[in-house]
């Protein structure tokens, strides 16, 4: 038997279950509507289609996000490196130092261009 | 558990890449530390010197490598061979002229980029930034990073490296696309579209990589190629995987049906960026496609070839047909670039012997004309009532009679268009000629026939622009009255770039022998 | 030094490129650089000549390989230089006369705002002309051939704001193109039958050509030569080409470019030797043109156009000599060199006269200029005596040899050719004397600006004056050449011995008439021509407006209806052809194209719907592409 057949069967089953669920609720569910029911599901808070200030997010929002990414990427990469540190030895150390040096450059850039000054 | 073996890194082979990356990092530091007044000039110097230095490095590697010194390194993930070096050389030449246009400013001192990318279009803040004469000098390191990704693209001998290089070359281009000085909303829309579709195609690419890995248990081209010959009966997966990887790359070259972003992005992006992007991205991505096809995929050639035939034919036809109905010069050039993706594909589709060098020559010819043509577009401007130079006049009707007002510039444009059309004595003719000959040698006769027909049809809209420039009086144009375009005097850098592009187009058209010999001698892949 | 012969070409070429690229920035010193380049080219050429003189005669043919130019399969063409006595003779003529004319132009073009561009073109011309004569293959020769055509076009139309001048430039270009077609087809035939277009290859293999093929190639080469050298039937452009600045007329349309046809015929000796018919046609064309040109020169009142007719006629002599075969080659080249000097001198003298007369070229408004322009008068007189062949001036030595040689042969030919050459000499004497007397002697037919004569005086007001030294000096040098060159070049073996490695050694058979008889007849006829001109134009008053004249005069004034013939034979049918073609084009081709275009536009509209600007539909397109491609591949594999 072709090794793909089980996958095909699984996909079929998944599709049937999804469609069946939707179909059943559409067929047997009670159909009453009111205003609350038609609103987006947001746990009681009114949805905000626009941020404050003419529909734009504050620029600082992005700055924080970017600073976060600088460190986030660093950590994501540092973790597995730390785990395999002893195996990677000098090669790993040099590589990581290079990486950190490179990732510092944008950080310096952010700092010099005032991204860290909040006001 | 096996102990870790550090891979051998051939630093010498990486010098061109390192030079460019180093220059990019330096550019970021310049943006951080240099005083605002001198930032731009330092950036321009760095951005122009770096490709020059890298060209020197490539020349050095060429002397070391071509004719027996080819090798793969970092565990077979990167390859250094004549083909890669030749492609890098072309990329660096494009970068030199492209950056020269990128760095140009109008006589009034404004460059092609928004003074402050973070400002909202039309806001008071933007106006203030403009008045303060701010400049977004981050453009130069971004372009350098993109170039670095392209250089790696030509060397990548491994799907993961290819993916990383793909992202490195793409992400800066997304940002650059968003930075147009005028029509900023269009520019931002273009960038967002480019980004979303790029991400989408990257996802398909990665999916393909996963399938190929599943098939061959390796990511390096050589292993995939070996696995293909030692077939184990799952090559259905491999073919689909290869197809998806190719989709990611064909997206970058803008081949049909993965071309939809091309006109929108080429139109929206700042014109110098469009010129650089159109020439360099296409060159890099075609280099990657060629390496993938020739090294990893010969075993699947029989399977993938029909799909590539369809893509090539569709690109030529759709590009040509849609270019004819455009009324905007940038969109016309964009669709022409789609058609050219098809023409270039013709050279390598059936993996002929002379395909790689024909492809490289084609790309070189195309690149000169592209950078040159878009450089001309940057100079053809509208004027406001007070006579100040404003935005680019991209509507074709505005170009009517340009040949009378600026004969030299219009003649240069005509030269580039003739090269696009493949008229003899221009580089484009020999590019098409060598590409079609290679394809015919490989037995792809029907494809060549379509290609010849398409290039004849395509000549129509190039000649139309020439006729418009030289033989139409503005008042004869039946379009609604628009302001006539006025050419501004090119700055020194643009002037140099235009001269280089025009000279390249002519020299390659009249006396191509040295370049053809060089490419024929170089265009070999290391396995 | 021979290996450095490429410098001869490279120096003016580089200078020209520099001047054109630098643009206005080089306005201040452009003319000096260009002149320097021409002189430097002459110096290098001279050094090469000295080295070649040091070689023994049989070694004097040097081929210098430069680079492989067109390596396309079987057609492999190398670019190289042929440095031999023939090409060096031309190099000397071109660079020496060229340098003098550069110097002259400094003065002549002082007031022209585009002087730098003019010099750039002049340099371009010199470089192209040198490529033409130094080439070692017909292909490279053709490059130079087209190059001089281009330079000539640019220079004739230099004052292209004047529509007539621009039209004249175009006319010259188009008529040259007709000749060029001959050269191209000849090259094609050579390659098809011999497999090579290099001089050495063709020379080695030409004896094996079949006579019809050799005749065809020879006639086509002759067509090319006729176009460039303004020989019948492609002669009509030369008169109009006088629209260019006078130094251009002197350099290009008298001394050098127009003689390229003679060079081609002499160079293609091996072909013509294998094709007696082509040779005979060449001689006939030469003999006919020498009379035609002389007649035109008699009829013109425009000093430059008259000189143009004279050039046509003198080149007719050269073509006649070249058509006589090896016995005539050396004399053709000899006359070419001396003619280069005295005709350039005449043109430059005419330029001085025009310069002095407010750029008027009408000889009927000159007269009596000897008193105000003594240097110009003296040099013009010397060149005049040289061209009509009065001993011991240069023209006597060279032209007399041609006349003698024309009388060599059997049957009707010596009588016809010799007779034509003799009559031509007489007519030459007449029209040149006419020009000389009308310009410098007789009563002045102009009024000095300062004079107080009434406004109703029909004579134009002028202020003639001698030209500055920078203009008279080159003319003086040329005049010295016109005096001495004939004697110098026939000393000892002279130019015939120098050219022997190329033209081959020939014994000169006796003419059908004894040489002293021919000589006497020539001199008597020349004297008669001068006397007639003196009676007509020296002693009598020349009317300000031309009299009606005989039908012959009227025909000569109109270039013997060459323009009308061209119009009737080429232009009108051509126009009808194009009109028909345009009609066919609109009706048939355009119909198809419009149809196709409409179809394209329609399909474009449909396709454009796909380009709706929504990212989601673009993404869907990509996805559909992948899915369909994958599905199709799998179907194909099944």
Whether B3 contacts chain A with CB within 8 A: yes
Euclidean distance between CA atoms B65 and B69, whole angstroms: 4
Burial B405-439 (b: 16+ CB within 10 A, else e): ebeebbebbbbbbbbbbbbeebbbbbbbbbbbebb
Query: How close, in Å, is residue C108 to chain B by CA atoms?
Result: 29
C75 contacts chain B (CB < 8 A): no
Position A80 in a domain: yes
Binary contact (C622, B257; C-beta < 8 A): yes
Per-range mean pLDDT, top range of B103-117, B492-506, C391-405, C525-539: B492-506
Please spell the DSSP secondary structure of B77-110, one letter per residue.
TEEE-HHHHHHHHHHHHHHHHHHHHHT---TTS-
Neighbour subunits, C (≥3 Cβ pairs < 8 A): B
**B263-267, C563-567, C625-629: range with lowest mean pLDDT:** C563-567
Helices (H), B325-444: 329-348, 355-379, 402-405, 407-421, 427-441
| Residue C541 scores a pLDDT above 80 | no
Which residue carries 């000039």 as its tokens?
Answer: B41
| CB nearest to B260's CB, from C621, C634, C637 | C621
Q: By CA distance, what is A106's nearest residue in B? A: B28
Alpha carbon distance C41, C468 (integer Å): 26
CA-based nearest residue to C198, from C76, C283, C107: C76
pLDDT score of B480 more than 60 = no
B6 touches chain A (CB under 8 A): yes
Q: Strand, helix or coil at B390? A: strand
Contacts of B249 (CB under 8 A, 6+ apart): B166, B205, B285, B288, B289, B292
Asked if B118's CB is within 8 angstroms of A59's CB, the reply is yes
User: At C75, is the pLDDT very low, low, confident or very high (cuts 50, 70, 90)?
Assistant: low
pLDDT (tens digit, 9 = 90+) per residue, B190-244?
999 999 999 999 999 999 999 999 888 899 998 888 888 776 667 778 888 999 9
Would an 8 Å CB–CB cutoff place C613 in contact with chain B?
yes
Q: At C15, is the secondary structure helix, strand, or coil?
A: helix
Domain map (residue ranges) of chain C: 335-557, 566-637
pLDDT average, residue stretch C108-118: 81
Distance CA C511, CA C410 (A): 9
**Taking CB atoms and an 8 Å limit, are B322 and C68 in contact across chains?**
no
Q: Is the pLDDT of residue B47 over 80?
A: yes
Q: Cβ contact (<8 Å) for B31 and A87?
A: no
* Structural domain contains residue A105: yes
| Greatest alpha-carbon span in chain A | 69
Whether B200 and C634 lie within 8 Å, measured CB to CB: no
The pLDDT of residue B283: 95
What is the rounded distance in angstroms from the CA atom of residue B154 to the CA atom of residue B170? 15
Mark yes or no for CB contact B25/A89 under 8 Å. no
Q: Give B104-127 pLDDT, tens digit per residue.
A: 888 878 888 988 888 888 888 888
DSSP B447-480: HHHHHHHHHHHHHHHHHHHHHHHHH--GGG--SP
pLDDT at C69 over 70: no
Q: Find tokens 């701010």 and name the residue.
A: B134
The answer to whether the beta carbons of residues B233 and B256 sit under 8 Å apart is no
Distance of CA B34 to CAs A108, B99, C83, C298, Å? 13, 20, 61, 80
- In angstroms, the separation between the Cα of residue C156 and the nearest Cα of chain B is 21
Among the residue ranges A32-46, B442-456, C91-105, C406-420, the one predicted with the least confidence is A32-46
Whether the predicted pLDDT of A1 surpasses 90: no
Is the per-residue pLDDT at B161 higher than 70?
Answer: yes
User: Do A111 and B33 touch, CB atoms closer than 8 A?
Assistant: no
In DSSP terms, C71 is beta-bridged to: C76
Contacts of B314 (CB under 8 A, 6+ apart): B255, B256, B257, B342
Contacts of B234 in chain A (CB under 8 A): 3
| Polymer length of chain A | 119
* pLDDT exceeds 60 at position B476: no
B275 sits in which H/E element: helix B271-291
- The C-alpha R_g of chain B, in whole angstroms, comes to 22
Q: Do A106 and B28 touch (CB under 8 A)?
A: yes
Taking the CA of residue B146 and the nearest CA in chain A, the distance in Å comes to: 16
Nearest Cβ partner for A56 among B3, B25, B120:
B120
- Alpha-carbon span C252 to C124, nearest angstrom: 12
For C121-146, what is the mean pLDDT? 87
Compute the residue count for chain C: 638
Cβ contacts of C75 within 8 Å, gap of 6 or more: C191
User: Is the CB of residue C618 less than 8 Å away from at least one CB of chain B?
Assistant: yes
> Looking at the complex, does the CB of residue C627 fall below 8 Å from at least one CB of chain B?
no
Provide the chain B residues 69-128 that lie in CB contact (below 8 A) with chain C: none
Å between C624 CA and nearest CA of chain B: 9
Number of structural domains chain A divides into: 1
- For residue B118, which residues of chain A lie inside 8 Å, CB to CB? 59
Residue-level pLDDT at C377: 86
Of the two residues C443 and B342, the one the predictor is more confident about is B342
Nearest in space to B136 (alpha carbons), one of B117, B120, B122:
B117
Give the three-class secondary structure for A13.
helix
* From A59, A89, A113, residue closest to B32, measured CB to CB: A113
Q: How far is C142 from chain B, CA to nearest CA, in Å?
A: 15
B302 at the C interface (CB within 8 A)? no
Indicate yes or no: CB of B25 within 8 angstroms of CB of A102: yes
Which pLDDT value is given to residue C588?
Answer: 62
- Across A83-97, C125-139, C533-547, least confident range: C533-547
Please write the tens of the pLDDT for every residue from B283-324. 999 999 999 998 888 878 778 888 899 999 999 988 988 888
Is residue B363 in some structural domain? yes
Distances (CA, A) of B91 to B12, B52, B58, B412, C534: 19, 11, 11, 22, 77
Please give the model's pTM, rounded to 2 decimal places.
0.64
- Beta bridge partners of residue B383, listed in sequence order: B389
Give the number of other CB atoms < 10 A from CB of residue B446.
10
Q: Assess if residue B2 is contained within a domain.
A: no
- Chain A residues with CB under 8 Å of B33 CB are 112
Ranking C42-51, C205-214, C594-603 by mean pLDDT, the lowest is C594-603
Name the token pair of B453.
Answer: 């027909």
CA gap B31, A111 in Å, rounded: 11
| Chain C partners within 8 Å of B192 (Cβ) | 615
pLDDT at B266 over 60: yes
Give whole-number Cα distances, B348 to B61, B308, C251, C551, in Å.
26, 10, 54, 73
* Partner C contacted by B312 (CB < 8 A): no
Instruction: Answer whether C629 sits within 8 Å of B307, measured CB to CB.
Output: yes
Cβ atoms B358, B435 nearer than 8 A: yes
Work out the minimum CA distance from C366 to partner chain B, whole angstroms: 42
Print the domain residue range for A59: 50-112
Domain-embedded: residue A84: yes
Q: Do B4 and A84 touch (CB under 8 A)?
A: yes
Q: Is B31 on the interface with A (CB under 8 A)?
A: yes
Per-residue pLDDT, averaged over C532-540, amounts to 77
Assign C638 to helix, strand or coil.
coil
Smallest CA–CA distance from B260 into chain C, residue: C618
Chain A residue with the nearest C-alpha to that of B25: A105
Count of H-run helices and E-run strands, chain A: 5, 0
Nearest Cα residue in chain B from A90: B6
CB-based contact C334:C398 (threshold 8 Å) = yes
Contacts of A113 in chain B (CB under 8 A): 31-32
**Cβ(B420)–Cβ(B428) below 8 Å:** yes
Q: How confident is the model at residue B158 (pLDDT cuts 50, 70, 90)?
A: very high
Instruction: Report CB contact under 8 Å: B33, A112.
Output: yes
CB contact under 8 A, B325 and C621: no
Distant-in-sequence, close-in-space partners of B367: CB < 8 Å, separation ≥ 6: B90, B93, B94, B279, B280, B282, B283
Is B335 part of the contact surface with chain C (CB cutoff 8 Å)? no
**Is the alpha carbon torsion for A35, A36, A40, A46 positive or negative?**
positive
State the nearest Cα–Cα gap between B7 and chain C, in angstroms.
36
Tell me if chain A has a CB within 8 Å of the CB of B118.
yes
Q: Is residue B408 one of the residues assigned to a domain?
A: yes
Tell whether B514 lies on the interface with C, counting CB pairs under 8 A: no
Q: Which residues, at least 6 apart from C487, have a Cβ–Cβ distance to it below 8 Å?
A: C392, C394, C397
Would B1 be classed as within a structural domain?
no
Distance from CA of C45 to the nearest CA of B (A): 28
| Percent of chain B scoring above 70 in pLDDT | 97
* Distance separating alpha carbons of residues B373 and B387, to the nearest angstrom: 25
Chain A residue set in contact with B, beta carbons under 8 Å = 3, 56, 59, 84, 87-91, 102, 105-106, 108-109, 111-113
Minimum-distance CB partner of A109 among B3, B4, B32 = B32
Count of B-C CB contacts under 8 Å: 89
| Chain B residue with minimum CA distance to C621 | B257
Q: Is B243 close to C621, i.e. CB distance below 8 A?
A: no
Q: Is the pLDDT of residue B520 over 90?
A: no
In a domain, B230, yes or no: yes
Tokens of B93: 């030449």
Q: Which residues of C touch B511 (CB under 8 A)?
A: 69
Chains A and C touch (3+ CB pairs under 8 A): no
Q: Which domain holds residue B496?
A: 11-522
Does C594 contact B at CB distance below 8 Å? no
- Asked if the model's pLDDT at residue B39 lies above 80, the reply is yes
Closest chain A residue to B7, measured at CA: A91
Q: Is the per-residue pLDDT at C517 higher than 80?
A: yes
């Amino acid at each position: 038997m072709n090794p793909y057949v089980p996958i095909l069967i699984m996909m079929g089953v998944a599709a049937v279950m999804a469609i069946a669920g939707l179909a059943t609720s559409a067929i047997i569910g009670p159909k009453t509507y009111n205003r609350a029911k038609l609103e987006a599901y947001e746990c009681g808070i009114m949805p905000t289609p626009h941020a404050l200030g003419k529909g734009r997010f504050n620029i600082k929002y992005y700055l924080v996000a970017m600073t976060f990414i600088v460190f986030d990427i660093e950590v994501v990469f540092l973790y597995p490196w730390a785990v395999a540190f002893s195996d990677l030895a000098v090669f790993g150390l040099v590589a990581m130092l290079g990486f950190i040096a490179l990732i510092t450059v944008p950080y310096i850039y952010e700092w010099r261009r005032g991204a860290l000054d909040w006001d | 558990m096996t102990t870790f073996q550090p891979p051998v890194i051939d630093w010498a082979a990486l010098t061109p890449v390192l030079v460019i990356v180093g220059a990019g990092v330096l550019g970021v530091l310049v943006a951080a530390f240099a005083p605002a007044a001198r930032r731009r000039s330092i950036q321009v110097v760095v951005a122009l010197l770096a490709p020059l230095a890298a060209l020197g490095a490539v020349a050095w590697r060429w002397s070391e490598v071509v004719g027996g010194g080819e090798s793969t390194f970092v565990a077979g993930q990167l390859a250094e061979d004549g083909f890669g070096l030749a492609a890098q050389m072309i990329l660096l030449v494009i970068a030199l002229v492209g950056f020269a246009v990128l760095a140009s400013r109008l006589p009034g001192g404004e460059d092609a980029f928004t003074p402050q990318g973070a400002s909202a279009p039309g806001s008071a803040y933007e106006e203030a930034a403009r008045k303060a004469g701010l400049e977004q000098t981050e453009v130069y390191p971004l372009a350098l990073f993109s170039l670095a990704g392209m250089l790696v693209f030509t060397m990548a001998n491994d799907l993961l490296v290819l993916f990383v290089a793909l992202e490195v070359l793409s992400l800066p281009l997304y940002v650059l696309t968003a930075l147009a000085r005028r029509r900023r909303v269009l520019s931002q829309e273009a960038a967002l579209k480019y980004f979303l579709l790029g991400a989408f195609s990257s996802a398909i690419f990665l999916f393909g990589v996963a399938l190929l890995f599943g098939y061959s248990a390796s990511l390096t081209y050589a292993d995939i190629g070996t696995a293909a010959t030692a077939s184990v009966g799952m090559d259905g997966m491999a073919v689909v995987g290869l197809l998806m990887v190719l989709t990611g790359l064909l997206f970058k070259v803008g081949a049909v049906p993965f071309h939809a972003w091309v006109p929108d992005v080429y139109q929206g992006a700042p014109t110098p960026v469009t010129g650089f992007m159109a020439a360099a991205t296409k060159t890099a991505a075609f280099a990657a496609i060629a390496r993938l096809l020739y090294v990893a995929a010969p075993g699947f050639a029989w399977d993938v070839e029909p799909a590539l035939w369809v893509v090539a034919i569709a690109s030529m036809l759709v590009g040509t047909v849609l270019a004819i109905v455009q009324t905007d010069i940038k969109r016309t050039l964009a669709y022409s670039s789609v058609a050219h993706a098809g023409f270039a594909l013709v050279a390598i589709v059936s993996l002929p012997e002379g395909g790689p060098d024909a492809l490289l020559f084609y790309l070189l010819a195309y690149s000169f004309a592209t950078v040159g043509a878009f450089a001309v577009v940057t100079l053809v401007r509208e004027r406001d009532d007070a006579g100040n130079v404003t935005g680019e006049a991209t509507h074709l009707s505005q170009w009517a009679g340009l040949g009378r007002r600026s004969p030299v510039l219009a003649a240069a444009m005509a030269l580039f268009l003739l090269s696009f059309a493949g008229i003899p004595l221009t580089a484009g003719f020999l590019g098409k000629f060598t590409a079609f000959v290679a394809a015919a040698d490989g037995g792809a006769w029907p494809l060549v026939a379509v290609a010849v027909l398409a290039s004849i049809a395509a000549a129509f809209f190039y000649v139309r622009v020439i006729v418009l420039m030289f033989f139409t009086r503005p008042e004869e144009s039946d379009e609604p009255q628009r302001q006539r375009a006025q050419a501004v005097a090119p700055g020194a850098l643009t002037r140099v770039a235009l001269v280089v592009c025009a000279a390249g187009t002519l020299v390659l058209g009249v006396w191509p022998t040295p370049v053809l010999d060089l490419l024929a001698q170089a265009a070999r892949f290391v396995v | 030094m021979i290996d450095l012969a490429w410098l001869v070409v490279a120096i003016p070429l580089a200078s020209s490129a520099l001047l054109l690229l630098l643009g206005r920035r080089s306005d201040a010193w452009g003319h000096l650089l260009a002149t320097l380049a021409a002189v430097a080219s002459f110096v290098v050429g001279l050094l090469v000549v000295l080295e070649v003189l040091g070689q023994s005669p049989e070694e004097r043919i040097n081929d210098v390989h430069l680079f492989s130019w067109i390596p396309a399969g079987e057609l492999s063409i190398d670019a190289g230089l042929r440095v031999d006595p023939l090409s060096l003779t031309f190099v000397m003529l071109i660079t020496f006369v060229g340098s003098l004319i550069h110097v002259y132009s400094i003065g002549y073009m002082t007031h022209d705002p585009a002087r730098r561009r003019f010099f750039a073109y002049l340099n371009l011309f010199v470089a192209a002309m040198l490529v033409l004569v130094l080439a070692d293959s017909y292909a490279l020769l053709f490059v130079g051939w087209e190059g001089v055509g281009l330079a000539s076009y640019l220079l004739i139309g230099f004052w292209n704001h004047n529509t007539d001048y621009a039209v004249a430039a175009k006319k010259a270009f188009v008529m040259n193109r007709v000749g060029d077609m001959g050269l191209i087809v000849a090259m094609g035939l050579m390659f098809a039958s011999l497999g090579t277009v290099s001089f050495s290859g063709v020379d080695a293999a030409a004896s094996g050509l079949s006579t019809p093929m050799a005749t065809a190639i020879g006639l086509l080469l002759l067509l090319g030569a006729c176009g460039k050298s303004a020989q019948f039937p492609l002669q009509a452009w030369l008169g109009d080409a006088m629209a260019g600045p006078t130094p251009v007329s002197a350099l290009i349309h008298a001394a050098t470019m127009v003689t390229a046809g003679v060079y081609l015929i002499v160079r293609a000796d091996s072909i013509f030797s294998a094709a007696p018919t082509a040779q005979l046609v060449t001689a006939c064309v030469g003999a006919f043109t020498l009379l035609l040109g002389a007649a035109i020169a008699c009829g013109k009142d425009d000093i430059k156009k008259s000189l143009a007719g004279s050039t046509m006629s003198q080149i007719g002599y050269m073509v006649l000599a070249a058509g006589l075969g090896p016995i005539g080659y050396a004399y053709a080249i000899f006359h070419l060199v001396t003619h280069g000097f005295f005709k350039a001198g005449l043109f430059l003298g005419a330029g001085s006269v025009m310069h002095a007369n407010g750029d008027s070229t009408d000889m009927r408004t000159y007269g009596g200029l000897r008193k105000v322009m003594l240097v110009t008068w003296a040099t013009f007189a010397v060149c005049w005596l040289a061209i009509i062949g009065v001993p011991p001036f240069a023209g006597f030595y060279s032209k007399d040899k041609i006349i003698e040689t024309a009388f060599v042969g059997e049957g009707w030919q010596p009588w016809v050719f010799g007779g034509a050459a003799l009559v031509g000499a007489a007519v030459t004497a007449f029209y040149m004397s006419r020009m000389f007397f009308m310009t410098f002697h007789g009563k002045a037919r102009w009024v000095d600006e300062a004079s107080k004569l009434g406004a109703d005086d029909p004579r134009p007001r002028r202020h003639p004056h001698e030209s500055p030294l920078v203009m008279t000096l080159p003319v003086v040098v040329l005049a010295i050449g016109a005096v001495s060159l004939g004697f110098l070049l026939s000393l000892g073996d002279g130019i015939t011995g120098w050219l022997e490695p190329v033209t081959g050694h020939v014994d000169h058979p006796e003419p059908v008439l004894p040489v002293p008889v021919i000589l006497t007849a020539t001199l008597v006829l020349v004297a008669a021509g001068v006397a007639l001109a003196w009676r007509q134009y020296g002693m009598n008053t020349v009317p300000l407006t031309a009299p009606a004249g005989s039908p012959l005069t009227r025909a000569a004034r109109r270039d013997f209806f060459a323009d009308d013939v061209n119009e009737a034979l080429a232009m009108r049918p051509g126009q009808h052809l194009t009109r028909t073609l345009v009609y066919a084009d609109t009706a048939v081709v355009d119909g198809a194209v419009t149809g196709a275009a409409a179809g394209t536009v329609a399909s474009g509209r449909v396709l454009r719907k796909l380009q709706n600007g929504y990212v989601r539909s673009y993404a869907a397109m990509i996805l559909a592409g992948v899915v369909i491609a994958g599905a199709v591949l799998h179907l194909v594999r099944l």
